[in-house]
Amino acid sequence: MVLLKQDGIAADSWTRIDDDAEIAPGNTGVTQPIISLTRWKRDRDTLLALNGEIGIVLGSDESPALIADDIHRFGVICLDFPKFTDGRGYSYARLLRSRYNYTSEIRAIGNVLRDQALFMRRCGIDALEIMDGRSTDGWRQAFAEFSIRYQPAEDTPTIKIAKPGQAHYLNSEVVGCWAY
Amino acid sequence: MYRYDEFDHTLVRERVDQFRGQVARRLSGELSEEEFRPLRLMNGLYLQLHAYMLRVAIPYGTLSGRQMHKLADIARRFDRGYGHFTTRQNIQYNWPKLSDIPDLLTELASVEMHAIQTSGNVIRNTTADPYAGAANDELEDPRIYAELIRQWSTLHPEFSFLPRKFKIAVTGAPHDRAAIRFHDIGLQMRQNSAGERGFEVVVGGGQGRTPVIAQTLRAFLPKRDLLTYLEAILRVYNMLGRRDNIYKARIKILVQSTGIEKFTELVEREFGEIKGGALALPDDEIARISAYFAPPAYELLSEDDADYLAARRTDREFDTWCRINLKPHKQLGYAIADISLKRSGGIPGDATADQMDIMAELATRYSFDELRITYKQNVVLPHVRQADLLAVWKEIDAAGLATANVELASDIIACPGLDYCNLANARSIPVAQRISTALTNSGRLEEIGPLRLNISGCINACGHHHAAEIGLLGVDRKGKEFYQITLGGNPEDNAAIGQVIGPSFSYEAITGAVETVLDTYLANRQDGERFGETWGRIGPRPFKEALYGTA
């Protein structure tokens, strides 16, 4: 796996662990585990008692609403895209950012393709896990394939209002602007 | 008409560059066909029976003379000299080469056109009343709102991998000419008791193997909230729509499974969260887009044109064409002129490059440089002075485009069928050709009067057979083409789904069966009744008896 962030390939300090793997600091050496929603539901109190950093994976049928009360406890939330055609994660990411004001890392995992990268970033996903064997060339270009935005999203939360008849314009300060 | 600004130009150019790269990666093998598929589909490129098919967007069916000339040019250079206008107000080219597509898209971009979101599980090209801005009954030009939807939905980051395709139609008139109740979302402009204008929002309509009439989600939505409300609907659908079965993935199935009350609750709750946010439409943005659709500089005429009326009295053929193919225009002294692409024995919706050039030229000279494509697969000159109608008619007549049959039984909607499509069970085009020839030769078209007859080559219903008064559905029976007849559908006001009348008919027998249905209608019709009204009054039995005998 290669982890891709805004500035390029990034080191990954997190480790995904099985539902039955032991989590106890000092025992496994895993200080930043990523667990499943199943595990979180099962062992929530025990995990909280460890008082360490923790991340979670949400499957494409697991809405952030299921962890609404705990969202800020997670240092990373991974959204699984089991198939690139399964687009539920885009809505989940937007909800995490704008509905639940989640500010830590949202990571796309699974069938993450270069051609989805810009859409993902626009929805608030700031880390992409690239499957082994895939070239990481061209990803930076993918983020830049479109310089403009027609609609507000998590990268462009506000719109720029132009006077009627005024042409749209691009402004490096504004990542994009909507219909203006 | 809407004109691209620098913003739109940039986006389309970048899209072409992106697709050029994607095609190169496909041709080099870096992308598998499976990975390339959703990318090409987002650019309107299908793999059909014999070749790639490219579908080009014509936003809300409006285009200029220059754009139509370019479509002709592309038909000559990249296809076999013709194009096919579709039920979604778009045009399809049936024979382009994959390696040519980036250049073809560059040509389109030169006239502000593209193929973005004409396919794939995305928000498709938004359709609208083809007589928008010209019809004498509309409250406002629906293209203003269709354009706002076009911008909002273009490369929407959240809604580019929906469970299934998503179609939105808009009308600004009380009489629905956009079949809004057969769309995933239909918008019909309404005026409330305070005199404010907004939209009735209907949801969950569609055809395909599960035809459904859309239900009202909101009786009145203020204009300001239009895009916010659409975003709420799409978000609910994106998260909850089924993804395990392609045939149950449209929003209509979700609405059916939750029930309209529960679905309304879900949408309203989401809308409540985002209302008044970044998507709220300020009045000045609506005004800015409205300015693009300002009425053209009509000549102020005080009465009907005398020469035009005289020509109608002396030239019977011209008079017939006027009587059938013209619609009243909101501006006195002008008419809306439908150009039928349904000549007797022709392929519904097809036009040659030469015909496209002629229609483009006529639009430039006589219709303020505007053309429309209708979902019934015809072309419209929306603003023709009565005084120019005779000249227009002579030119289209010389080009084989003066068929006087708009809304009559030979104005058939047909899908490409087994001649082109790899989903089809049966041919549609030759059936349409045989029926239109038979009806024209019978001399009864005007006697039969307005009647919607549609043909689909398979259960996916691209030919809108469910929404026809007489619908034909191609089926495969032991390797042979058969056609099932449905009766009583209606695409527009009082939308209805046709009902299967009985066992299907062979390719050879179907034309005769349609004539039997028409005979039965004429024999039972009371004064002024349309087919659907007679059907509603007498029911299926007389038709069954006529088709299958008394059992």
CB contact under 8 A, A87 and B162: yes
Strand boundaries in B488-527, DSSP class E:
499-500, 505-506
Strand partners, A78: A57, A107
Instruction: Please state the rounded mean pLDDT for residues B389-402.
Output: 98
Instruction: Please state the rounded mean pLDDT for residues B483-506.
Output: 96
pLDDT at A169: 30
- pLDDT tens digits along B357-367: 999 999 999 99
The percentage of residues in chain B with a pLDDT greater than 70, rounded to a whole number, is 100
Please report where in the chains the tokens 């084989």 appear, as a residue: B400
- pLDDT tens digits along B445-477: 999 999 999 999 999 999 999 999 999 999 999
- pLDDT tens digits along B153-204: 999 999 999 999 999 999 999 999 999 999 999 999 999 999 999 999 999 9
pLDDT at position B485 over 70 = yes
CB contact under 8 A, A122 and B157: yes
Angle, alpha carbons B47-B49-B55 (nearest 5°): 45
Q: How confident is the model at residue A27 (pLDDT cuts 50, 70, 90)?
A: low
B303 interfacial to chain A (CB closer than 8 Å): no
pLDDT at A28: 57
pLDDT at A158: 59
Comparing B167 with A31, the larger pLDDT belongs to B167
H or E stretch covering B191: strand B185-191
Contacts of residue B279 in chain A, CB cutoff 8 Å? 151-152
| pTM for this predicted structure | 0.94
Strands A33-36 and A55-58: parallel
| B271 contacts B232 by C-beta, under 8 angstroms | yes
Q: Among candidates B89, B21, B81, which has minimal Cα distance to B55?
A: B89
| B16 contacts B115 by C-beta, under 8 angstroms | no
Question: What is the nearest CA distance from A154 to chain B, expressed in angstroms?
Answer: 10
- pLDDT tens digits along A68-99: 999 999 999 999 999 999 999 999 999 999 99
| End-to-end alpha carbon distance in chain B | 59
What residue type is B314 in one-letter code? T
Q: How confident is the model at residue A163 (pLDDT cuts 50, 70, 90)?
A: very low
Interhelix angle B226-240/B260-274, rounded to 10 degrees, is 120
Interhelix angle B101-109/B65-78, rounded to 10 degrees, is 160
| B356 contacts B450 by C-beta, under 8 angstroms | no
B238 interfacial to chain A (CB closer than 8 Å): yes
By mean pLDDT, which of B419-428, B449-458, B509-518 is the weakest? B419-428
pLDDT at A26: 53
CB contact under 8 A, B278 and A146: no
pLDDT at B104: 95
pLDDT at position B261 over 70 = yes
What structural domains and CATH numbers belong to chain B? 6-109 (3.90.480.20), 134-289 (3.30.413.10), 306-398 (3.90.480.20), 413-548 (3.30.413.10)
For residue A49, give both structure tokens: 């008692």
d(CA B174, CA B462): 26
pLDDT at position B283 over 50 = yes
The fold of A2-143 is TIM Barrel (3.20.20)
Q: Which residue of B has its CA nearest to A159?
A: B278
d(CA B451, CA B462): 19
- pLDDT tens digits along A93-130: 999 999 999 999 999 999 998 889 999 999 999 999 99
Interface of A with B in 99-118 (CB under 8 A): 99, 113, 115-116, 118
Pairs of CB atoms within 8 A across A/B:
120
Q: Which residue of B has its CA nearest to A63?
A: B239
Which residue blocks in B374-462 are alpha helix, DSSP H?
389-398, 429-442, 445-448
Mutate to test the interface with A, among B11, B18, B35, B155 (most CBs of A within 10 A): B155
pLDDT at A6: 81
| B57 contacts B119 by C-beta, under 8 angstroms | no
- What ipTM, to 2 d.p.? 0.94
Q: How far are the Cα atoms of B406, B432, B453, B454 from residue B376, in angstroms, in the given order?
A: 9, 14, 10, 9
Q: How confident is the model at residue B35 (pLDDT cuts 50, 70, 90)?
A: confident
d(CA B476, CA B327): 40
Contacts of residue A151 in chain B, CB cutoff 8 Å? 151-154, 156-157, 227, 279
H or E stretch covering B199: strand B197-203
Question: What is the nearest CA distance from B294 to chain A, expressed in angstroms?
Answer: 13
3-state SS assignment for residue B432: helix
pLDDT at position A171 over 80 = no
Question: What is the nearest CA distance from A17 to chain B, expressed in angstroms?
Answer: 27
| A42 contacts A23 by C-beta, under 8 angstroms | no
pLDDT at B548: 97
Q: Among candidates B279, B308, B472, which has minimal Cα distance to B392?
A: B308
pLDDT at A165: 36
For residue B514, give both structure tokens: 């349609």
pLDDT at position B95 over 70 = yes
Q: Among candidates B186, B90, B171, which has minimal Cα distance to B133?
A: B171
pLDDT at position B434 over 60 = yes
pLDDT at A24: 66
By mean pLDDT, which of B36-40, B220-224, B325-329, B455-459 is the weakest? B36-40
Q: How confident is the model at residue A20 (pLDDT cuts 50, 70, 90)?
A: confident
pLDDT at position A55 over 60 = yes
- Domain borders along chain A are 2-143, 148-180
CB contact under 8 A, A150 and B121: no
Q: How confident is the model at residue B51 (pLDDT cuts 50, 70, 90)?
A: confident
